Chain A
């Protein structure tokens, strides 16, 4: 029987994760030759195409001969078999602590469970996984790795993460962009209380670099339809501002607002081939693994 000492990695989860295969094309970009066949350009013996250099590209791939002839920087790309590099962005802002004092999992706990499982899954296949914990800034960044120790660090980091300051996902993505040396799969776990347009503007560089992006929109059921409670004074977990309302009276309008927000994100995601999933925290996060399989 497998046992773990980690809060967010349960033996029964590991048992279940063993049944998941990562044959999906989304997860095949890595350095382990033969395991994942990639259509991404890379350093291999099989030439793929030339493409113009953009800042951030690996200079080792620049074809200097072409530069000598044309005075322009072009990259010589090859089709290669590569290993998986998975980058997990975990929103640890104050709003992720919702719901407080409830029997249900908070969004942060839910995200942590998922992140832990995903990390285990990736490392178990000798692929690399990184973790970026952020709120309005990057609170912790663990570079990609695939060792047991690396996994231990990740688990420890997840367990030590608490909800903190207000969210600024777009800024975090901007700041994290130089930290991710290699393209791979970007998994963002957040409640996405942000402007969709600004979010996707921040994602554009990643998409341009060829990252596959999975946007998991975590919401508590109480956030989806407002709980049926009496007159209450709502306190913003991030800003501390207060608002006295009767949730019952606003329920329909709130649901409509959230639906519109989700639709806006979904529309932008679809246009950029970004995988978007709304994940109510009362549903099993294992369903999210299916997103990788099918994308």
Chain B
């Protein structure tokens, strides 16, 4: 609050408020003499009344001083202004920063947070009546209604009325920056009004420092935390299954409340429904796995849904599963080599496996598996990079490979003394067996299908201990030496085999269990995650480009609710793309060519917006700002325009004038009159009778 004086040149008049005090002091110093008949009685009265009279005297002095002060102050024309209010005559620019991110859809009582925000924003425009104003939305793509603050408040009101919550996270830093820029453009007193639910996850660590010439007011519209349960993710494993393979769909459900919740989770996989109850602990997550059979190659839309709760926007999660027709295995070995022949035999035996030649293992053709049966230690970094990109590597070292190269490939460290890998030979060979409990050989765990690694290995490498220590040992020889090792990467694993495919070195490839063992090994070595080909952020525009641009003639896009959407072509550096002009909302957008689904655009509710907890107090907007929540805009607006205090001061003066005599002299009591006790006489003049 601040005080403004309309007639500030009259301020010196206020010094006259000391008049009663001066009069009091001066009269105290030289009161007139009054000869009185008897002071003994008077002193008795003084003694008796002193205890009451002294405080009363002080009270009287204060009252008189205040009355004079109030009267004088009324002439100075004081206006009570809010702290950051513009002075009378000063221009005022207001920038409204209104949150319409997904969390604003939460319902607090009869209205949603966003509806409350719209009401507050309109009230701010109507009551504060700025000379220029602008409106900036906090959403994924913050934008201002006007290029610069403008006086057309009605248009801003209409914009507010027509707006809705966007199912997207708010790009708060960009919105804030834009708001500050708009404030900087504005003239006069600049004010930024932030209307938001002040979601804790978004605002907690946000730097809200503002220049000192900008006043910020926070209007929180959330009435507290809202409990919420959301499907936070939907993940398929393997990410790209092969036709006929079963995929495990993992649904993660999160509870954003202080109480454990029980609900039902349903999965729709291309029209096939499954459901199961789930119980989520307080502030915790739980996962539910659904097994989905992938009958044929193609795209499989997935939708996980919860029973609707108070905040239904995040009760669904979407994904699309790409089911592969076959896996491509590049074989980096001469076509006439026994390893190559073995690989081709495998591909022939497995309908979902295709073998292709790979002359240069460092630059293989597009493939899912790269088999390097006789690796001489070349390009270990490149090979590792391929694995990281999602190509499963199966590497069998050749004689002369250094331990260092193998260490580089596998991401381990080799000791200098390791040198070149030592080749061991044994005529009677070594027997190998899988390590128990490995998923890759789970099929063989019962023993019904034999030993998947059954072989007689006559040549093998002695692998350094530093290598084996950091590997996932899948199989070992009878003497404990590693037979098959798996090294994890960011994408697909790198398998290092000590089991030669060359029949001269070992007979594993000729054993009956080789085919199922190798097939299981390949399927279980697929990358757990695949690059998200379908997901787009809410608020962005669904876009896609068919591989054959000529197909664009029959390209259509349907929205999650099944309505066709218009498409517009955009030319990019990589060629033309087609996109919807409407921002995406959570759901599955289906791209079709000639009526057949060819692609999905998957839009999921932003996980960060599911946590509906809000800051207990609005953030601090710098030392110079009024950090109190502006919960009563009308009152603040009145203060901003200046509340004239002179009527109050005059009223106070009148009251003081009324109170002064009451305080100065007690009310007359209906006491007996002294004169009534004496003689009753008709009249007298100068002591003489009349």
What residues of chain A have their CB less than 8 Å away from a CB belonging to chain B? 10, 12-13, 16, 95-96, 98, 100, 103-105, 107, 109-110, 113, 191, 193, 217, 219-220, 223-224, 229-239, 241-246, 248-259, 261-262, 266, 277-288, 290-291
Contact = CB atoms under 8 A, between A and B. Distances in A.
Contacts of A261: 41
Contacts of B669: 252
A266 B677 CA distance: 10
B480 interface: no
B571 interface: no
B665 to A, nearest CB: 6
Contact of B689 (A16, A107, A219, A224): A16
B677 A278 contact: yes
A278 B678 contact: yes
A234 B42 contact: yes
Contacts of A104: 687
5 contacts: A13-B688, A229-B34, A250-B49, A252-B668, A253-B49
Contacts of A246: 57
B38 interface: yes
B46 A288 contact: no
Interface stretch (B24-32, B485-493, B621-629): B24-32
B563 interface: no
Nearest to A291: B679
B671 A255 contact: yes
B166 to A, nearest CB: 74
Contacts of B49: 249-250, 253
Q: Across chains A and B, which 9 residue pairs bring their CB atoms closest together, nearest first? A: A287-B679, A105-B687, A278-B678, A95-B37, A236-B39, A284-B681, A98-B37, A283-B681, A287-B681
B28 A252 contact: no
A277 B33 contact: no
A251 B665 contact: yes
Contacts of A238: 37-38
A256 B298 CA distance: 112
A98 to B, nearest CB: 4
A249 B53 contact: yes
B683 interface: yes
Contacts, number: 161
B690 interface: yes
Contacts of B668: 252
B666 interface: yes
Interface string B36-78: 1111111111101100010011000000000000000000000
Interface string B346-387: 000000000000000000000000000000000000000000
Contact of A232 (B33, B57, B690): B33
B38 A95 contact: yes
A194 B332 CA distance: 139
Contacts of A233: 31-34
A251 B56 CA distance: 14
A283 B679 contact: yes
Nearest to A244: B31
Contact of B674 (A193, A259, A290): A259
A255 B41 CA distance: 11
A211 to B, nearest CB: 22
A232 B671 contact: no
A259 B670 CA distance: 13
A245 B671 contact: no
Given A193-B40, A231-B31, A253-B48, A283 B666 contact: no
B430 to A, nearest CB: 121
A243 B31 contact: no
A287 B678 CA distance: 9
B672 interface: yes
Given A245-B46, A283-B681, A235 B33 contact: yes
A280 B683 CA distance: 12
A113 B687 contact: yes
Contacts of B672: 259
Nearest to B682: A284
Given A230-B27, A231-B31, A252-B668, 7 more contacts: A100-B35, A234-B39, A234-B42, A243-B39, A250-B46, A284-B679, A287-B679
B272 interface: no
Contact of B34 (A193, A235, A266): A235
B36 A234 contact: yes
Nearest to A258: B674
A237 B672 CA distance: 28
Nearest to A235: B35
Contacts of B53: 249-250
B675 interface: yes
A253 to B, nearest CB: 5
Interface string B90-118: 00000000000000000000000000000
A257 B679 contact: no
Contacts of B448: none
Contacts of B28: 231, 244
B675 A253 contact: no
A123 to B, nearest CB: 20
Contacts of B674: 219, 224, 255, 258-259, 262, 278, 280
Contacts of B310: none
B504 interface: no
B22 to A, nearest CB: 14
B42 A249 contact: no
